[in-house]
């Protein structure tokens, strides 16, 4: 995977309905070349699936990251399945750990009580010794009122987010012009996410989170993120900024573990950085995004 693949993935995560030609114009490639690259990313598993979902604002939720430490007595697959029983969970990743087991859990919860319940759920799992939870600063989208026609189109997009205008028109009985206008309204309203679920650990790559704690008297998260983007344009992917402490979980994708050690050494030397720890992912388990579940429930309630 090269820089062009990275740009394709990030573009699709912003708008998974983006046409091959539009992306080709952005990247300076032919639409055929873009199509081939996307097909390869799908076949390798790096692009796990496309997604049409209600935004976090639409479901009154926050994105959270939990670090779960165990005593090592659990069976990994069974333990992941047990965590996934909680409907808030969207990803569970097994992380390299010197003693016991370590897991990164991403989820979406609604309100303080739900966050407390989620923490209690994790802490009471057998073999768990500690749980650390961070509410993340993350794009929440907008809250909009969905019309019947918008829901009619979304009913097909939730299963096939890249469905063509022509196929949507045929399936819904609407004109292609009307369908196009409805999708434009949904994208402009920012209440629906047209994104992708990715699994960047596929294709011979290693996904790593650098946990960076910084001195708020010296710098801020925006400055650190901008520096990481400029310093490591290919390796650095996305930041997860804690809303509850001066901590950034910076996602890196590398092809050699020696590279992340070199990166960590450089980051540690920054005057604003207090500490850096490396979390290497062994595996990623992905589950349905809550915004997709809620959208499907709306269809069921309308029937």
The residue segments making up the domain with residue 35 are: 3-44
Question: Given pLDDT bands bounded at 50, 70 and 90, which one contains residue 198?
Answer: confident
pLDDT in tens, 39-59: 999 999 999 899 999 999 999
pLDDT in tens, 96-131: 887 899 999 999 999 899 999 999 999 999 999 999
Q: Residue 238 domain-assigned?
A: yes
Taking the alpha carbons of 156, 106, 96, 100 in that order, is the dihedral positive or negative? negative
Flag whether pLDDT at 301 surpasses 80.
no
Q: Residue 65 domain-assigned?
A: no
Q: Residue 248 domain-assigned?
A: yes
Question: Given pLDDT bands bounded at 50, 70 and 90, which one contains residue 302?
Answer: low
Flag whether pLDDT at 282 surpasses 90.
no
Q: Residue 77 domain-assigned?
A: no
Q: Residue 232 domain-assigned?
A: yes
Question: Given pLDDT bands bounded at 50, 70 and 90, which one contains residue 283?
Answer: confident
Q: Residue 192 domain-assigned?
A: no
Flag whether pLDDT at 225 surpasses 80.
yes
How many domains does the chain contain in total?
Answer: 2
C-beta separation of 91 from 106 below 8 A: yes
How many Cβ atoms from other residues are within 10 Å of residue 2's Cβ? 9
Token reading at 179: 């369908």
Residue 32's domain is classified under what CATH number? 1.10.10
- Give CA separation, 77 vs 63, 68, 147, 151, in Å: 24, 15, 42, 37
C-beta separation of 64 from 106 below 8 A: yes
Q: Residue 56 domain-assigned?
A: no
Helix-strand-coil percent breakdown of the chain, rounded to 5?
40, 30, 30
- Which of 22, 40, 39 shows the shortest CA–CA distance to 31? 22
pLDDT in tens, 68-105: 999 999 999 999 999 999 999 999 999 988 789 999 99
Q: Residue 196 domain-assigned?
A: no
Flag whether pLDDT at 204 surpasses 80.
no
């Amino acid at each position: 995977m090269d820089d062009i693949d990275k740009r394709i993935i990030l573009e699709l995560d912003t708008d998974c309905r983006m046409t091959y030609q539009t992306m080709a114009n952005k990247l300076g490639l032919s639409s055929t070349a873009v199509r081939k690259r996307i097909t390869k990313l799908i076949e390798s598993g790096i692009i796990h699936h496309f997604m049409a979902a209600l935004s976090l604002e639409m479901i009154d939720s926050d994105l959270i990251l939990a670090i779960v430490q165990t005593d090592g007595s659990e069976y990994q697959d069974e333990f992941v399945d047990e965590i996934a029983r909680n409907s808030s969970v969207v990803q569970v990743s097994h992380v390299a750990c010197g003693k016991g087991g370590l897991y990164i859990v991403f989820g979406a919860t609604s309100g303080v009580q739900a966050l407390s319940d989620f923490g209690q759920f994790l802490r009471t799992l057998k073999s768990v010794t500690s749980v650390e939870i961070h509410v993340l600063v993350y794009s929440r989208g907008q809250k909009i009122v969905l019309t019947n026609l918008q829901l009619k189109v979304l009913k097909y997009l939730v299963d096939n987010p890249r469905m063509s205008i022509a196929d949507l028109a045929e399936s819904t009985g609407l004109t292609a012009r009307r369908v196009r206008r409805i999708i434009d309204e949904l994208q402009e309203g920012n209440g629906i996410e047209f994104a992708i679920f990715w699994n960047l650990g596929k294709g011979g790559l290693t996904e790593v989170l650098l946990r960076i704690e910084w001195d708020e008297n010296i710098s801020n998260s925006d400055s650190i993120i901008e520096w990481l983007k400029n310093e490591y344009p290919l390796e650095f992917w996305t930041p997860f900024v804690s809303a509850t402490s001066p901590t950034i979980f910076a996602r890196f994708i590398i092809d050699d573990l020696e590279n992340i050690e070199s990166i960590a050494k450089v980051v540690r030397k920054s005057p604003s950085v207090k500490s850096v720890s490396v979390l290497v992912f062994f595996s990623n388990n992905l589950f349905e995004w809550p915004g997709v579940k809620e959208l499907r429930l709306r269809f069921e309630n309308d029937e």
